[in-house]
């Protein structure tokens, strides 16, 4: 079932209306999970960081040993062509995908040169500015590179995220604050995470256990350009309990204020509002 509406799909060299079938039962990606994707956004007539998202799906494919058949530049151009069918003001999620079609003689390793590609566009509203969430802990953790392909935006990683999110919801919270293998905070089940304390912005250092997001990097750059001190460092759950503000960072919603972490309350504070304003100003200027 699709998440959004008004779907268009680029597959086998042309655009199709609707949510068309793109994978077969015996495709390597279907039965062994060799799929990667990325997500960009159009809103208010802009497509911020579309080129960066398009380039990352190519890197993700290579990390999963799938031979990419298009460059990032080609993917971005396909997306822009497809978006011409939408109202420029429409909020559209842009999702390019690669998957392996066949395996080698073992059946397990993806065969080079046998790669599927599709790009899906679907209208999904942007979260309203006042939308917030809450956090709790989870018994599930982020893997390390020796255990999983965490240097790719790979579909096979998301069942673990789904377990985290389901557990958080069962406890009455909106999302989970997730630890890495050492027990330090990595991210949440669905997005990167930042905290604010004494006027500084802190975020878990990218230590190879989570995908350091494109929107995350954009927030860091915007804040530094605006004179705010930003530190990437090791952060514990206790650090988050002592925070003044906490917010999530991801492509889908850009900035999501957090109002609670397991009983610790936060304000939807001035720094979080400033970060959203900085992002929107940048997006409408450079996007």
The 10s digit of each residue's pLDDT in 156-183 is 999 999 999 999 999 999 999 999 999 9
Q: Do 32 and 75 lie in a common domain? A: yes
Here the tokens at position 171 are 């406890």
Which of these three, 123, 143, 170, is where a domain ends?
123
Q: Which structure tokens are listed for 200?
A: 């500084």
How many Å is the Cα radius of gyration of the chain?
19
**How many residues would you count in the chain?**
287
Looking at the structure, do residues 228 and 269 belong to the same domain, yes or no? yes
- What is the Cα–Cα distance from 141 to 149, expressed in whole angstroms? 14
10 and 108 in a single domain? The answer is yes
Put residue 32 in one of left, alpha, beta given phi > 0 → left and psi -120 to 50 → alpha. alpha
Q: Are residue 9 and residue 118 in the same domain, yes or no?
A: yes
Q: Is 106 contained in some domain? A: yes
Whether residue 66 lies inside any domain: the answer is yes
The whole-chain average pLDDT of the chain stands at 96
Domain boundary among 73, 103, 123: 123
**Domain CATH code at residue 199:** 3.20.10.10
Note whether 115 and 146 are same-domain residues.
no
* 89 plus 157 within the same structural domain: no
Nearest C-alpha neighbor of 134 from the set 185, 173, 192? 173
Extended beta strands in 12-143, E state: 14-17, 35-37, 40-42, 92-100, 115-123, 133-137
The model's pLDDT over 67-119, given as tens digits with 9 standing for 90+, comes to: 999 999 999 999 999 999 999 999 999 999 999 999 999 999 999 999 999 99
Last residue in a domain, options 123, 152, 167: 123
For residue 105, tell me if it sits in a domain: yes
For 15-33, write each residue's pLDDT tens digit: 999 999 999 999 999 999 9
211-233: pLDDT as tens digits: 999 999 999 999 999 999 999 99
| Domain-embedded: residue 83 | yes
128 within some domain: no
Q: By residue range, what is the domain housing residue 151?
A: 133-286
Q: Which residues fall within 8 angstroms of residue 26, CB to CB, at 6 or more apart? A: none
Number of domains in the chain: 2
pLDDT value at 1 more than 80? no
Collect all residues with Cβ–Cβ distance below 8 Å to 38 and sequence separation of at least 6. 53, 54, 56, 57, 60, 95, 96, 153
Whether 152 is covered by a domain: the verdict is: yes
Q: Which residues pair with 94 in a beta bridge?
A: 40, 121
Structure tokens at 135: 């956090």
The model's pTM is: 0.94
């Amino acid at each position: 079932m699709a998440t959004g509406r008004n779907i268009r799909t680029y597959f086998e060299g042309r655009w199709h209306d609707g949510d068309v079938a793109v994978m077969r039962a015996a495709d390597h990606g279907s039965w062994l999970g060799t799929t990667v994707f990325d997500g960009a956004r159009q809103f208010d007539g802009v497509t911020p960081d579309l080129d960066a998202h398009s380039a990352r799906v190519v890197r993700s494919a290579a990390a999963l040993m799938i031979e990419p058949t298009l460059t990032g530049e080609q993917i971005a151009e396909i997306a822009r062509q497809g978006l011409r069918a939408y109202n420029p003001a429409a909020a559209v999620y842009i999702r390019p995908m690669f998957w392996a079609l066949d395996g080698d003689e073992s059946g397990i390793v993806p065969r080079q040169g046998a790669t599927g590609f599709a790009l899906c566009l679907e209208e999904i509203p942007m979260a309203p500015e006042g939308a917030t969430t809450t956090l709790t802990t989870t018994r599930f953790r982020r893997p390390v590179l020796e255990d999983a392909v965490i240097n790719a935006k790979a579909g096979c990683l998301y069942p673990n995220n789904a377990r985290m999110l389901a557990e958080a919801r069962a406890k009455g919270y909106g999302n989970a604050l997730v630890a890495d293998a050492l027990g330090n905070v990595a991210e949440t089940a669905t997005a990167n995470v930042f905290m604010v304390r004494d006027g500084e912005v802190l975020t878990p250092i990218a230590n190879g256990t989570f995908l350091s997001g494109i929107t995350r990097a954009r927030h860091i750059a915007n804040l530094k350009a605006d004179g705010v001190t930003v530190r990437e460092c090791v952060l514990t759950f206790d650090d988050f309990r002592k925070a003044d503000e906490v917010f999530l960072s991801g492509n889908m919603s850009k900035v999501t204020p957090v109002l609670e972490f397991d009983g610790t309350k936060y304000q939807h504070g001035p720094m979080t509002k400033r970060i959203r304003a900085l992002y929107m100003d940048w997006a409408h200027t450079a996007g």
